[in-house]
Chains A and B, each alone.
Chain A
Amino acid sequence: MNVHDILFWVFSIAMLVCGVMVIAHRNPVNSAMSLVLLFAFMAGLFVLLEAFFLATIQVLVYAGAVMVLFLFVIMLLDIRASVLKRLRWLGLVGALLVSGLLVWEIQQVLRQPAVESAVEAKGLALGLSDVVKPLFTQYMLPVQLTALLLLAAMVGVVLLSKRDLQ
């Protein structure tokens, strides 16, 4: 076990525990805080995979912007804290069934020899310029379309936030 392996286990187990807490907490604020931690651990896994640019973006965009938005909305709505309703057994059974089936499928796929043979990381780590250069050449059109989509989202949010939708 080297440092990389130990950090992998620490980050991934902590991340999955945070994931359980997101869906188990009754109070949405606690869920949101667990989600912030989950994003931080995910950024740690990105660093282990030597995707430093994406780790930075993950912290800036997800743990920063998206979660602040979530917390603002939770405070804005002022939801009655922990509405203690009984657990839906049908919902619990359905959730266990769907996610259990999914895990079984993943296990079936990951047993394939093509996946198991990819043991060693190939080549050098991808640097910042390796990741960013395609954005200006090969992926120019998708970048422009994403910009358009962000503009559309902004206009949509302004429109949705108006008091009367006339």
Chain B
Amino acid sequence: MDSQTPMSSSIQLAHGSGGLMTRELLDQIIFSTFKNPFLEQKHDGAIVPLKGPVVISTDSFVVSPIFFAGGNIGDLAINGTVNDVAMCGGVPEFISLGFIIEEGLDTSDFVKIVQTIKAAAEEAGVLIVTGDTKVVESGKGDKIFINTTGIGSPHPRAHISMDRIRPGDQLLVSGPIAAHGMAILSQREGLQFESEIRSDTTCLNHLVSDLLDEFGDQVHLLRDPTRGGISSVCSEIAQDSALGVLLRETALPLDPQVAAACEMLGLDPLYVANEGIFCAIVDAEAAPKILERMKSHPKGGRAALIGEIRSEYPGKVVMESAVGGSRIVTPLIGEQLPRIC
């Protein structure tokens, strides 16, 4: 990085050619940002120290728009994968980072994304150890796609698995629901609400580690309700465990402006995506303490007990509604089609 030629103002096809311009892009933006000993090995990959079993998870991020209130595709790509590793009971340590950039992306946008990635990785305490950058012709992508793979080791006290779920187990959620999906939707459609709705994207690994340190195998299952929202997570749990899930509508934490936005659009917040919360199914006796612990953590300040596992209706999710009575919550199928006359 000695003889600096200034970067062009947008990403060109040649930046993905593997030639000089690629080198420039990597040196000036990526390596200089993510400096760490593993990257300095300058291998085609990274050699990282790990002992025993490995937790690994990968995810691709294609969100549009790439910038939104509360974050951008960059922190989403780190947090998403970090959280997936954490949901398996893993402690994420290393991340691989792959970009697919559509030619013409503003360089300044790319820099912004890379810097956000750096900040998110630092917050999560993970190192970016290897990566890849490709550029595709205009029209073959949508500004930028990011793939991340997270690697970590299992938390020593974690014993997380579907078959540990028992009737009576309590369902906790770590924070208010539906914020991310509504932030994206309002940004994408140019919808304006009285107050801005911000994505909840954040890393959850520290909170999860704290819980596992303290409560170990009393935590039976962890899931982050991303695409398909709470309803999809609960439906999966119900189907895979062959037990029922009871939700209490009045207990669901929901920001008033998110609730209002959902109401105006006719959307059910249970189906809206989240990026910074998780659901935990925990031992009934330990539940109050676990909830308390979550609430005392900065990432779980608005955690709530939202339901429990029931044996009466295997495979079904039933919600006690705020207006009385209860209803079945089905997993999302395609878009939310109207059913009522």
A joins B in a complex:
no
Binding site for B on A (CB under 8 A): none
